[in-house]
Amino acid sequence: MKLNRLLFSAAILSAVSVQSQITQKKNQLEFSVGNNWGYLKNLEFAPVAMYDYEGLVYKLNYTRTSKNDNLFEVNLDYLSSDLKTDKLSNLNTDYYKGGMNFSYLKKVYDRDRFRIHAGLQSRTSLAAYHHGDYVSFHQEFGIAGRFSYQINEKQYLSSKLTLPVILLRVTNAEGKFYTLDNYQSVFWDLEYGYKLSNHFDVKATYNFNYSRLQIPSAYRELQHQLNLGINYKF
Amino acid sequence: MKYIKSAVYVFIFTSSFLLISCADILMGDEGKYDEEVYLNYKTKTVLELPFEDDWYIVAGGKSLEKNHHFAPVRHQRYALDMVSIINRSNKTGDGTKNEDYYCFGKRLNAPGDGKIIAMENAIEDNVPGVKNSKKALGNYVVIDHLNGEYSFMLHFKKNSIIVAVGDTVIRGQQVGLAGNSGYSTGPHLHYHLQTTPSLETGVGIPMQFITYYTDDVFTERGEPTTGQTVRKK
């Protein structure tokens, strides 16, 4: 895993030293692979205050840009890992998580090299623990904003911030809706893109995902992800 | 333009550094008590097995492999499911009637001293193999041990409970008969200990019983686990 970290860090640093631009094509399809460093607390599942986990995360993103420069985004992601804790090592176990996001973002600001889109996002995710003996389904609805900045002709930065406001959580124990009173979450990503040609970009992305459910059987999850991807425009 | 570029890079670097370095704060302290309970909890109440003769531990222990109660319900994490056995069998006949099971109608005792704070006695017993999801606890008794520990005994036989809310009970005193009411597919006793009388806020705690036999070996103080046959001394 240390080698993974090193490779990703080196690749991202080298990518940052070259140049690109925001695409003008209508459709973009991106595949990326990255490393995830995560922390998890789920007192329904185990009496562990904080599990660590690390593993590869795979992502497939599709973005369609409308005539008015509004964005429709679909993201799929899959993570496979092992939950670990030194304190109660006999409770270490496997962990899988898959998710799907839909978002529609309307252009609200466009001046010079800076653009802002704002809209709504839906995220559906399913996590399986311990060979699937415990399963947790989350459906979140929230607001999202994307901020794009054109550094120069070949390089761009883009950042998306999502704040879920409603959560439907279904586990082996129960199914319930939660709102901001009990559930606070933020998903933030920061992308650096470099144009290789009219049809291809390469991207380096950092994701910060955090969720907190304030109930007696507390749930919290924190993820840092570094991804490298290839983006096909058509 | 150079100024903006530099500001963007500084913002990215600073934000990333802060977010990566504050995992402990973001993850919070919840669960540290649960870890302490798991590793070191010593039962305060003097508990003895709440039955006579041989009983088999169908579910018990401190992992999901051993004990299906371990997840997802926190208050019954260390719960035991137990059935009465004779000659290593839990029933006679084809098992289609509750009366086929040795467990059904067996005397159940208070495992420790305390006060009855909740009970239910009028739930019908299930036909074996059929669960009552609407009244999951079935007929039950909750004993407040007056030290921050609460015993939950579930699935009693209908109308078999002979204590009432407010009664004081002593260890070994009969409280009712084993049955098959509530979320139960066959006659058995579900027993667990938790930190509050609430199913919402209670945290399950390990139960150490005194002076009993585990697979015919004397145990001074121990926690029964799946697959053991236990008998009160």
* pLDDT lower than 50: segments of chain B: none
- pLDDT value for B233: 87
For every residue of B133-171, DSSP letters joined together read STTTT-EEEEEE-SSS-EEEEEEEPTT-----TT-EE-T
pLDDT (mean) for A162-171: 97
Quick check: A137 pLDDT over 70? yes
By Cβ distance, the residue of B23, B26, B63 closest to A90 is B63
Q: Which of A50, A149, A171 is nearest residue B27 as measured by Cβ atoms?
A: A50
From residue A133, how far is each of A53, A179, B160 by CA, in Å? 19, 27, 35
Residue B158 to residue B178: CA distance in whole angstroms: 9
Interface of B with A (CB under 8 A): 5, 8, 12, 16, 19-20, 23-24, 26-32, 34-35, 37-39, 63-64, 70-74, 77, 200-201
A83-94: pLDDT as tens digits: 999 999 999 999
**Cα distance between residue B206 and residue A68, in whole Å:** 62
Contact state of B23 with A222 under an 8 Å Cβ cutoff: yes
Contacts of B10 in chain A (CB under 8 A): none
Cβ contact, residue pair A220, B27, below 8 Å: yes
| ipTM of the modeled complex | 0.88
* Least confident residue range of A107-111, A199-203, B13-17: B13-17
d(CA B38, CA B71): 14
pLDDT at site A18: 34
Note the pLDDT of residue A19. Answer: 32
Q: Which residues of A touch B200 (CB under 8 A)?
A: 216
CB-based contact A151 B5, cutoff 8 Å? yes
- Closest-CA distance, A44 to chain B, in angstroms, reads 5
> Is pLDDT above 80 for A12?
no
Residues of B in contact with A216 (CB under 8 A): 74, 200-201
Type of residue at A194: Y
What is d(CA A93, CA B132) in angstroms, rounded to the nearest whole number? 32
Show Cβ contacts of residue B128 under 8 Å, excluding neighbours closer than 6 positions. B95, B96, B97, B98, B100, B101, B180, B185, B186, B187
Mean pLDDT of chain A: 90
Question: What is the predicted pLDDT for the residue at B51?
Answer: 97
Q: How confident is the model at residue A22 (pLDDT cuts 50, 70, 90)?
A: very low
Closest in B32, B35, B64 to A133, CB measured: B64
Q: What is the pLDDT of residue B23?
A: 86
Contact B101, B90 (CB under 8 A): yes
Q: Which residues of A touch B (CB under 8 A)?
A: 39, 41, 43-50, 87-88, 90-91, 130, 133-134, 149, 151, 157, 171-173, 190, 206, 208, 210, 212, 216-218, 220, 222, 224
Contact A171 B72 (CB under 8 A): yes
Residues B125, B153: contact at Cβ < 8 Å?
no
B122 three-state secondary structure: coil
Q: Average pLDDT of A50-74?
A: 95
Mean pLDDT score, A154-177: 95
What mean pLDDT is predicted for residues A103-111?
94
Is the N-terminal amide bond of B224 cis, ω within 30° of 0?
no
pLDDT tens-digit readout, A30-47 = 999 999 999 999 999 999
pLDDT at B11: 73
Structural domain count of chain A: 1
| CA distance to partner chain B, nearest, from residue A45 (Å) | 5
Residues of B in Cβ contact (< 8 Å) with A210 = 26
Closest-CA residue of A relative to B38 is A47
Cβ <8 Å between B72 and A45: yes
What CATH number is associated with residue A162?
2.40.128.90
DSSP codes of every residue in B158-215: TT-----TT-EE-TT-EEEEBB-BSS-SSSBEEEEEESSS-TTT--EE---EEEEEET
Distance, in Å, from the CA atom of B132 to the CA atom of B183, rounded to the nearest integer, reads: 5
Domain encompassing residue A199: 2-233
Residue A233 pLDDT more than 50?
A: yes
Judging contacts by C-beta atoms under 8 Å, the chain A residues touching residue B38 are 47, 88
pLDDT higher at A174 or A1: A174
- Average pLDDT of span A44-69: 95
What pLDDT, on a 0 to 100 scale, did the predictor assign at position B19? 62
DSSP helix/strand/coil, A214:
coil
A205 pLDDT more than 70: yes
